[in-house]
Amino acid sequence: MSRLTATFEKLKAENRAGFVPFVMGGDPGFDASLELIRALPGAGADIIEIGVPFTDPMADGPAIQLAGQRALDAGQTLPKTLDLVRSFREQDNETPLVLMGYYNPFYSYGPERFVKDAHDAGVDGLIIVDLPPEEDAEMCLPARAAGLDFIRLATPTTDDERLPAVLKNSSGFVYYVSVAGITGAKTGAAAAVSGAVERLQKASSLPVAVGFGIKTEERAAEIAREADAVVVGSALVDTLAKGLEKGHDHAIKQTVSLAEGLSRAIKTARKSG
């Protein structure tokens, strides 16, 4: 059983949603990034998304774009992101790790070589934002064959005609983007998100994680009452960025503190709701 499947089965048994923090790999530097990622399970992370920095992101808002640029300026690359995963796995062999990025770095690395190296490093799943289902042979199918889950995004504009293509060959979970826009934007209306989660849960046996625009404990709890997992990215990387004015240690402490609050809100949402 994969780490992602085991985690979602545990969450279901506990009748709670999972907390999925997103952080940019290599932001603000390799060592600080590793320290932050290692701290997240203790802060309540059930699954961790690690961003692969890219120069031309199309789905990322300002906070994550700046995080990617800080990481690139510090010398972060896709091979170094795999090094982050290997280093994390030296101390944690249970928390699922999902890499999220754009196809160009993976294509440049070489898809077949990458999926082998990623699996060997301890990566559990991939989200490649700009690789559509029509190109599954490029990366999705080799990844699945290598034992990696391939997670696809569904959005408010994914209609009934498009949904089967999105779900075909997807595994691990379905990532529902709550707004038709970039990360960090305003979250979709509660009723619309709830309806979308219900629609996806009926269309697939895969768990549904909701992300994009979830910044507060209150909003995270609201989503956690409906979805199988809640993804928070921009709020965390923005807190890290603001904390850097007082040094890496302060920035990591502030980011971990925010993660702890979000995790508590998500884990108690169904009991308090």
The DSSP letter of residue 88 is H
**Radius of gyration in angstroms for the set of CA atoms belonging to the chain, rounded to a whole number:** 17
Active site residues: 49, 60
Mapped onto helix, strand or coil, the DSSP state of residue 227 is coil
* Residue carrying the six token digits 């994009």: 212
pLDDT tens readout for residues 71-81: 999 999 999 99
pLDDT tens readout for residues 39-77: 999 999 999 999 999 988 877 788 999 999 999 999 999
Residue 184 confidence (pLDDT) above 70: no
Sheet containing 48-51: which strands, arranged edge to edge? 149-150, 125-128, 97-101, 48-51, 18-24, 229-232, 208-211, 174-177, 153-154
Distance CA 89, CA 77 (A): 19
Q: Which residues pair with 50 in a beta bridge?
A: 23, 99
The percentage of residues in the chain with a pLDDT greater than 90, rounded to a whole number, is 84
pLDDT tens readout for residues 93-129: 999 999 999 999 999 999 999 999 999 999 999 999 9
pLDDT tens readout for residues 202-257: 999 999 999 988 889 999 999 999 999 999 999 999 999 999 999 999 999 999 99
Phi then psi for residue 183, to 5 deg, are -60, 150
Contact 174, 151 (CB under 8 A): yes
Handedness of CA 125, 37, 85, 129 (dihedral sign): positive
Q: Which CATH class is domain 3-150+229-267?
A: alpha beta
